[in-house]
Structures are given as structure tokens and as C-alpha cells.
Chains A and B, each alone.
Chain A
Amino acid sequence: MTTAAIEVEKLHVGYGSVAVLHGIDLAVAPGEFVAILGSSGCGKTTLLRTIAGFQKASAGAIRLSGRDVANLPPEKRNIAMVFQSYALWPHMTVLGNVGYGLRLRGVPRAEARRRVSDLLKLLNLSGLEDRKVTNLSGGQRQRVALGRALAIDPQLLLLDEPLSNLDAKVRVQLRSEIKALQSRLGFTAIHVTHDREEAMTMADRIVVMDAGRIAQAGAPKEVYDRPNSPFVASFMGADNTIDLEVAPAVSGVAIRAGTEPPIAWSGQAPFGRVTAYFRDDVAKLDHPGARVPGAIVLPGRIAQRAYPGGHYRYGVAIGERHFTVTDDRYLDLDTPVGLRLPLAQLHLFPSAKEEGGSYGSI
């Protein structure tokens, strides 16, 4: 196996007495694009800044192609970073910004200009060399920041929420541009974001962080389909919950929702009281008393209806709870319906209050 482009081992970081990262382990293969996903304050930006060398690690190792850089100042690491604020130097032109790293490395002026010009062509910024960066649009600034980072041919590119200050359209466009650039130039990248879709569409692998720890890492589809914890499930969009009871049965398990008769299921689930997490698009409407193999049907009634275009969106009341379902049919308010949830698409976790109880095999 080849050496990882970057390997972070048992990394601990704190500001003063406040610990922010509690032992992060992460390895990124050369040419891999990894997205670190987490809500604000989870430590993802701190992780990035520690890798860049702006923040001191209190313990742990950071290895760049096998070389420990944890105690090196940022200028000795050859890691380039694209800042959330872009951090372009307002007193310089585009050429001055992008060519800064090249000039530092002793590249002659004419050669630097040629290389910057090639890079700008790649970034669709041709001819803007002598423009002041303060006279650029948000999207252009972002590209200049990217160009500046790529100009020094870094071993690793760090992207700190680089798209968060752009409007939606430019953001989507730049996502695919960065991705295309990455597969073309083959650099290794770590991208920090709180935008799930951005992470999923750009990255080969996503790392979900929660409170200074890695909650789950894996391919986007794997993390999306098989979250390993309630936190990851709801972060991936499965933020509806229902309580279920799971009991062992002759073949597989018997699952009971509230006072409904139990459903036999051949899948695997933890025993006892469990909480099921699911996304809106998993739920379907059915008859209130329907019995469908491999799915539970919860009786309820239509409480709300909206027509966003193409289909109807219903708010289904089950007891005190409301769930959102889309359906093609038109249904009157208060119509009794059944909310059908395919068991295979639910993420089942032991309920928090039953922690330490009996677990089935997962």
C-alpha cells in the first residue's frame, strides 16, 4: 500500500484549557478528495487549521507523505489552503496574489507570469492578471484564491468552506469546476463544509465530525445509506423519528410500533426499544389498515396539504406527531391514511433511555 498523502494520528487540539479535538485519526490517499462534514463548532475548521500549521496540536502526529510536520511552521509544510474569506491580498493584483508563492520560490518574473497565465486560463480567469482583486466578483475571487493555492503545486490542498460566501448558482457551478480540476490535476484535497450535498457531490469519501471526534467516515453512499449513529443519521437528513419495539422471533425479528400488531421481518435490528430514523422521501401513503411485508404501516390522518408542483405534499398526523409525505393523489383533509415505512430503509438505533440494554446484532 502506498504512503498516505496525509495521515493524522490521535490529534488533540485545544484553545487554552478548552479541548476542541479529542483524538482525530484520518488518512487521505494521494489524489483522494475527502470532505469533512459537520455542524459549526464541531472542530472541523480547527482540524484544517492544525493541519495547515496555524494552530498548535497539543498531542498527536501529522504526517505528510510519511514526514512528521506537526512541529513545523506553516511555511515549511507545502500545504496550500483556500480560506473561507479567500484572504486575498487587497494591495496586490491577481498576478501578485497568484504569483506570490512562485516568486517566493525564486521563479523569475517572466516565468511566474507565464505560469500564472496558464493557471488563470484553467480557472476561466484569462486576461485578469493585472486586475486588482478588490475589483473582482465573489466567484472570481474564489477562483483566484484557488489559483493562488494551486500555483505552488502543493502536496495537499485544504479548502475551508470555500463556497459558503457565494450565491447558490455560482456555488453549484464552482463545485463541479473544483471537482473537474481535481481529477485533472490529481491533487489531494481535504474540503471542510457544513453543506451535506456539497460534501456528497464533491468528495470520494466523507468524514462526519461531531464534537471534536470523527463520527463516521466512508464513501458518500455508504454514510448516507448506513449511518452508524443517530447523529450521523439525522445529519444525513434522516431527521424524522419513531419509537419501535423489537423482539426476537422464529426467523429474524418481530417489530411493533405502539399498539399495532407486530410485523415479522427477516432483517437485523437491535432488540428492545429502538428509535427509527428516516428521511421524508422514505415514507409513503397507504390504507390505514394495510399490512405490507417488510414494512410497518402507522394509522393517521391527513392534517395538511400543499401543492408545490408535480405532486401533493401532505402533513400526516400520527398521535401528536407530524410527518411529511409526498403523494400523487389528491386527498381531503382528515382522511384516515396509513404511513408506510419500509423497514429496510429505516435506521434503527437503541433508544437513548434504554442505553446499556440488550442489543441484537447489527
Chain B
Amino acid sequence: MIRTLPATLVKALALALFAFLLFGPLANLVLWSVAERWYAPFKLPVTYGLRYWEVVFRPTGDAMSSLATSVAIAGLTVLVALLVSVPAGYALARLKLPARTLIMIMFLLPQAFPSVAIYINVARIFYQFGLAGTVTGVVLVHAAHGLVYSVWIAAAAFAAVDRDLELAARNMGASPLRTFATITLPLAAPGIMASAIFVFLESLDEFTGTFFVGVPQVTTLPLLLYSASMGGNYQIASITALILLVPSVLFMMVIERFLRADVLSKVGQ
């Protein structure tokens, strides 16, 4: 008992540190979101209130419109990513492709280089095609960024479907397309669903690409957060950050349900 006391103490301290690292910034955000006045040398806000929440959620406010833009872009990004990742994932999982690894790595490329350098060039090219400052342009940038997750996870989800299950359907008289629609796709759906959620969140969070391609016409929530904190409006910035946090937390709760171990073990193979 006595011998275990120091160990217990160390554990408790480590846990406290971990909790502080995790919840400290969050607590700061929450404090800022309800601080109507807070200045040095006070350690805590001077007056509390929900005035800024009201400002953010005011229907005519910037926050609500940029939230709508963010969600619309994220939704479209998921759509574009799925249109690529379902066929690509199936092909990577099932067909004998000669340059399989190379193709897999190609989807990783947008994330392998410093993003600023990439997006400056993307913005230049998009400008020539009239895509700069459009939702389409931003969606394309987000989709390219999200494809690595969506294709890799989709490939893993398809690979986890037992081939005999497809053969059994063919054996019963189903055409390849029918087999895909009734057997393969429903069985891979949880994994694909997880990849869609992932892409959605990535898009919701994305800053650099949106900044270079979308500004000034397209304002998403992260961009609003950026301009609010640049303008010294920490309340608005904190509330925006908290809003952005909600889908991530939801995701953490759903991901475990959708992504099973047998799919996870095949990611990137």
C-alpha cells in the first residue's frame, strides 16, 4: 500500500497534466466566449455575459452565413470525394492494378508538400480558369486534400469485403453491377461512411486552401475565426472555435461505431 503510494501520486499528476493540456485551452475558449469585458491585470473576466453569442447567432451575422457556407462546401466536398473514392477504392481493392502503390501515393501528394506553396500555385491556375473566389474552386481544393483519406479508407473498406460474398451473388445470377450494388457497397458502407465524415470534418476545418483560393468572396468559419482573432475580437473567435469543435466531438463518437478493426487494419495496404 505504502509502496504503491508514490506510483499512484505520479499517475495522478500525469493524469492532471494530461487533463490540463486537454481541457486548459478549452476552458480558456469557454471563458473568452462568455467574457464581455476582460483585460489586464485581471486573471478572470471582469464582466460575464452572452452578448457575443447573441452577436454570432444573430441571423444576419457573418458567423451564421459563413457557417452555412462552410457546411455547404463540406457537403459538396464529400460528394466530390465519394464520386472519386468509391470507384477508385473498389478498383484499388479488387483489380490487379500494375502501379497500385504509385496510385495510392498519388492521392497522398497534396498533403506531402508544404501546403502554402501548393495553394499559391493552385490559386494562380484557378484564377486562369475563373475558379478563384468561387465555391467550386474551394470545393475542388478541399476534395483534393480529403481524397487521401477517402480513397485509402474506401479501398480498405472494399478489401475487407470477403470475395466469396460477391462470388455467391454472381453464382445466384446477379450481374457484376447488381452484385456491387446489393452486396459489395452495403458491406463497405460503414467504412465509406466513416471516410465521408472524415472528409466533411477536414473540409470544415480547412484554412490554407480556402484562404488562397476563396478569399475574399468565399468566407468559411475558419476564415471568420482568423479575421476575428486578427481583429482582436477574441470572443467571436472563441465562439467560432467552439462551434467548429462540435462536429469533431460528434465524429469521435461515431467513428468507433462505423470504422471496424478489420477495415482499419487494411488502410493504406
Interface, chain A (partner B; CB < 8 A): 52-54, 73-76, 78-81, 83, 85, 87-91, 100-101, 104-105, 148, 152
Contacts and interface: CB of A to CB of B under 8 A. Distances in A.
B17 interface: no
A344 B187 CA distance: 59
A75 B172 CA distance: 6
A88 B186 CA distance: 14
Interface in B155-200: 162, 164-165, 167-176, 178, 182-183, 186-187
Give the dominant DSSP class at A's interface. loop
Contacts of A87: 162, 164-165, 167-168
13 contacts: A53-B170, A54-B170, A74-B170, A75-B174, A81-B168, A87-B164, A87-B168, A89-B169, A91-B187, A100-B169, A100-B172, A104-B173, A104-B174
B164 A79 contact: no
B213 to A, nearest CB: 40
A80 B168 CA distance: 9
Nearest to B169: A100
A89 B166 CA distance: 9
B168 A89 contact: yes
Interface of B: 162, 164-165, 167-176, 178, 182-183, 186-187
A335 B3 CA distance: 69
A152 B173 contact: yes
Given A85-B162, A152-B173, 10 more contacts: A54-B167, A75-B172, A81-B171, A83-B164, A83-B167, A83-B168, A89-B187, A100-B174, A101-B173, A104-B174
7 A-B pairs with least C-beta separation: A87-B164, A87-B168, A101-B172, A74-B170, A75-B173, A104-B173, A75-B170
A87 B163 CA distance: 9
Contact of A91 (B167, B173, B186): B186
Contacts of A76: 173
B136 to A, nearest CB: 36
A148 B165 CA distance: 13
A304 B49 CA distance: 94
A129 B104 CA distance: 42
A71 B172 CA distance: 17
B164 A85 contact: yes
B211 to A, nearest CB: 43
B172 A79 contact: no
A78 B167 CA distance: 13
A105 B170 CA distance: 13
Contacts of A152: 172-173
Nearest to A73: B170
Q: Could you say which of B168, B169, B170 has the most chain A C-beta atoms within 10 Å of its C-beta?
A: B168
Given A89-B183, A91-B186, A75 B171 contact: yes
A78 B162 CA distance: 22
A54 B166 CA distance: 10
